[in-house]
Amino acid sequence: MKRFIPFLKSDPLVAVIRLSGPIASGARAGLLNDQAVAPLIEKAFRRGKPKAVALLINSPGGSPAQSSLIAARIRRLADEKQVPVHAFVEDVAASGGYWLACAADQIWLDQTSIAGSIGVISAGFGLHDLIARHGIERRVHTSGKDKSMLDPFRPERAEDVARLTAIQEQVHQSFIDHVKTRRGSRLAENDDLFTGEFWVGRKAVEVGLADGIGHLVPKMKEHFGDKTRFAVYGPKRGLFQRLGASVVAETIGQIEDRALWARMGL
């Protein structure tokens, strides 16, 4: 009741944003992207004058662009509102998931949490031999010689791989710059830090990817007192999603998601 009475001091409030799932553009349930999480982030920073915002992260990564957009939104609001941000990692904050964690001022792990995988990956299939064996002729017509770069139905070209590698290196450098800017001197001197390697729990703390082992409620109460209140902001499933609409699209998406989680052994 006292938080509704102007002259009585309210108990400290921590806004909690749940960021769970692969990071990719699209409207499918379970995906993290700027369009989907922007309303949650905006509400978390603007409602009730929170003492801090806590990011509850569980993501194997995904789109670099969406990771960057979400992290930039969090930092903009944190600076605008002068609100500290803490990230709490559940199973994993890897690749783009760790990009999100670095939007926080401090990062906390469970002893079994996975963190890191600071790198860029592209994967596909070469199917040209398969279609040749079945007498299938591939017909592609483009107005630019590189328009069909890395077409899985034709033999891989060295120049295509070189071009892809150059693009990946640009994205990788942006990721590295983001981590170095946010973590600064807390990062250890470790040759494997930006190779795509990942670490678990205390090992991740030792190399500077996180600040310590800690869980959301006790850590926030340690900072702001035992009477700290929590407001949780997370995605809501729409009516059609609850009724199981778009089953085929959901199934395909879940297979892709499963592959991302499997890279972390989860």
The C-alpha atoms of residue 159 and residue 129 are separated, in whole angstroms, by 20
Side chain identity at 210, as an amino acid letter? A
- Angle 249-91-17 from CA coordinates, rounded to 5°: 75
Say which residues have a Cβ less than 8 Å from residue 21's Cβ, sequence separation at least 6.
30, 31, 32, 58, 59, 257
Side chain identity at 184, as an amino acid letter? G
Residue 131 C-alpha from the chain's centroid: 37
The residue written with tokens 């960057």 in the block is 68
Q: Are 211 and 107 in contact (CB under 8 A)?
A: yes
The C-alpha atoms of residue 186 and residue 164 are separated, in whole angstroms, by 32
The C-alpha atoms of residue 220 and residue 55 are separated, in whole angstroms, by 12
**H or E stretch covering 233:** strand 229-233
DSSP assignment of 106-136 equals EEEE-TT-EEE--S--------HHHHHHTTP
- Tokens at residue 205, please? 């703390």
The residue written with tokens 């052994």 in the block is 265
Q: Which residues are catalytic?
A: 95, 147
